[in-house]
Amino acid sequence: METITIIPNNKRQGKVIKALLKEMNVPFLSDEDPKISVSDAAKESIQKGLEDAVNGELISEEEVNKHFQNVIRQMD
């Protein structure tokens, strides 16, 4: 099967293309269709993480792994 990307120039073209695909029973995805739902709390957490990264407030992967190894050891 082949994937085709169509980029309409305006809303009218988009509506016509969607109507045609529906009429032909061709499955399609639209960027206007919600793909995922993210809570406000998750959005705020993501924004804080991005700000931390911009400010250089990062923890290395090695440090994260060590931390979680210690947490797991404490659970045993």
Kindly report, residue by residue over 13-67, the tens digit of the pLDDT: 999 999 999 999 999 988 775 667 889 999 999 999 999 999 999 999 999 999 9
Could you tell me if residue 23 is inside a domain? no
Q: Is the pLDDT of residue 4 over 70?
A: yes
70: domain range? 40-75
Return all residues near 30 (Cβ < 8 A) that are at least 6 apart: 14, 18
pTM: 0.41
Residue 54 to residues 46, 47, 57, 62: CA-CA distances in angstroms? 12, 11, 8, 20
Cα–Cα–Cα angle for 63, 46, 58, nearest 5°? 25
Q: What is the pLDDT of residue 30?
A: 84
Q: What is the pLDDT of residue 34?
A: 61
- Provide the number of structural domains found in the chain: 1
Q: What is the pLDDT of residue 33?
A: 58
- Residue 63 to residue 56: CA distance in whole angstroms: 15
Could you tell me if residue 58 is inside a domain? yes
Block residue for tokens 């995805």:
29
